[in-house]
Amino acid sequence: MATFFFCGIGGIGMSSIALYLKKSGHIVLGSDRSFDQGKNQHIKSLLEQAGIIIFPQDGSGVSEKIDVFVVSTAVESTIPDVKIAQKYQLTIRTRPQILSDIFSSKKGIAIAGTSGKTTVTAMVSHILYQQGLSPLMINGGISINTYNNEPASNLIYGTGPWCVIEADESNDSFRLYEPQIAVVNNISLDHMPLPVIQEMFENFLNKATLGVVVNADCPYTKQLHLTHPNIISFSASENETATLFAGDIQFGQNDVSFQVNGHPVRLPLIGMHNVANALSAIATCLHLGISILESVQALKTFLGTKRRLETVGTEKNITVIDDFAHNPEKIKASIQALRLHQGRIFFVFQPHGFGPLKLMKEELIQTLLENLDQDTYWIMNPVFYAGGTVSKDISSQDIILPLQRANRHALFFETRYETRDFLKKNLKSGDRVVIMGARDDTLSNYAFDILSDLKEENICR
């Protein structure tokens, strides 16, 4: 038994590892500045319910009794906790290093790709759970399904041989993994230039020891030089050269039905992107000897992950949706999924960082020009800033102005209060509001605030 202290424990990736270590019998402590600010309280509650002790991020929780001090890539050395850990010369390890240790202790399935990896990680884990294989899942999003009589979480604490993780290419952890099964859902512009991402994914896939899963529809995965002898490919566009391919796709109001190699599938999720996600999960499980039919049966009860086109609620026939989409490919998928049904849509997007916005600026503008129609409104708030010395040489206005010049419904508001006031005055029955963005856990609170606004008597008369 060891004592771990997590600095930045409220992060979605940090919290799942902290929960795993606590359930494994270790003493786990932690701090997070978002907790000190009164934010992210649902994660704090989840951790405390598990027996993890939370301290203010003022150094008061750090002592010489700590065996391992864990930091995320987003934590600065100026934080009091980090300063004291350095003073005591504690063993300091990063979240990716800890995750790599856990992953290596089991048979590993690593789900990667610039879009869909959280959902596919949850889907694969759900299938394994339904098959009685008791998987360990460490994910970057909270499952809506519950497992082992535990609260909804980003962790399934299974005792079986398989560990399923979301493998994030945005940090150095990606290079640490030695998976038995490696999955790449797709490749698109996100955290770094495409050639860099392609090289990373290529190396990642080729070192898998058992099998590989790739998207046959993605032009950038087609360019990868794969040497692995055991590749399963999938296609959501009836590409019959793929190992798995979907056909007869039918979109319902709250679900999607299709055929995969002749087997009927019904998912209680929406959007073409979830057809691709399901195919990726089914392909992954084929490597484990789980049949298409067995996977399809399990996916009938898969409810999705939080903040992936998650309906927060409906008031006065206006629906509020919370969505994690933050790069052009994810945003395009969400817009297209929601536009399958009639009605105006108000997207409220908060970019998740100055660097990513600068990198994806041109592709984001082009994506929005191609996908915004007369019933779609694009609203932006200022770029999310988590602190540090990042260059603030781009703004949300740099996206809004070209859209306005092209006569799209595009607006910028400096504050959430201004945005909510605009929505109060303009929403009507049948509309949908989508709060969209990543990294900032208060975005879910933002969605609930808008839903609360809709309850007021002076709205939507």
Element spanning 307, H or E: none
Residue that has been written with the tokens 């058992």 in this structure: 210
Element spanning 255, H or E: none
Phi, psi of 311, rounded to the nearest 5 degrees: -75, 120
Q: How far is residue 404's CA from residue 315's CA, in Å, rounded to a whole number?
A: 30
* Topology at the third CATH level for domain 3-94: Rossmann fold (3.40.50)
Average pLDDT per consecutive 10 residues, the chain (461 residues; last block may be shorter): 94 92 96 87 91 96 96 77 94 91 94 90 98 95 92 93 88 78 85 78 92 94 89 90 92 90 92 93 97 96 91 92 90 90 94 89 95 95 80 91 96 96 94 92 90 75 47
Query: In CATH, which superfamily holds the domain spanning 106-299?
Result: Mur-like, catalytic domain (3.40.1190.10)
Q: Residue 284: which of 412, 113, 413 has the closest Cα?
A: 113
DSSP string, 185-196: ----SSSS-HHH
For residue 166, CA distances in Å to 38, 91, 122, 170, 199 come to 28, 26, 9, 12, 19
Q: Where does residue 78 rank: exposed (0-12), middle (13-18), buried (19+ CB within 10 A)?
A: exposed
Q: How many residues does the chain have?
A: 461
Token duo for residue 385: 């800033």
Partners of 94 in the β-ladder: 71
Q: How far is residue 377's CA from residue 419's CA, in Å, rounded to a whole number?
A: 12
| CATH no., domain 310-454 | 3.90.190.20
Strands of 325-407, DSSP E = 345-350, 376-380
Q: Residue 23: which of 177, 206, 157, 163 has the closest Cα?
A: 157
Strands of 127-271, DSSP E = 136-138, 155-156, 162-166, 181-184, 211-215, 231-235, 244-251, 256-260, 263-267
Token duo for residue 116: 């869909």
Residue that has been written with the tokens 């606004």 in this structure: 453
Three-state DSSP state, 183: strand
For residue 351, CA distances in Å to 107, 139, 386, 434, 436 come to 36, 22, 12, 14, 9
Do the Cβ atoms of 325 and 361 come closer than 8 Å? no
Q: How far is residue 175's CA from residue 172's CA, in Å, rounded to a whole number?
A: 6
For residue 289, CA distances in Å to 6, 283, 292, 295 come to 38, 10, 9, 10
Do the Cβ atoms of 83 and 59 come closer than 8 Å? yes
Q: How far is residue 250's CA from residue 266's CA, in Å, rounded to a whole number?
A: 9
Cβ atoms within 10 Å of 159's Cβ, excluding its own = 9
For residue 430, CA distances in Å to 320, 322, 373, 433, 453 come to 11, 17, 17, 10, 16
Strand pairing category for 136-138 and 162-166: parallel
CA neighbours closer than 13 Å in the CB half-sphere of residue 213: 32
Token duo for residue 220: 């950038």
Domain ranges of the chain: 3-94, 106-299, 310-454
Token duo for residue 176: 């640490």
Partners of 163 in the β-ladder: 108, 136
Do the Cβ atoms of 135 and 162 come closer than 8 Å? yes
Q: What is the side-by-side strand order in the sheet with 181-184?
A: 155-156, 136-138, 162-166, 107-112, 181-184, 211-215, 231-235, 244-251, 256-260, 263-267
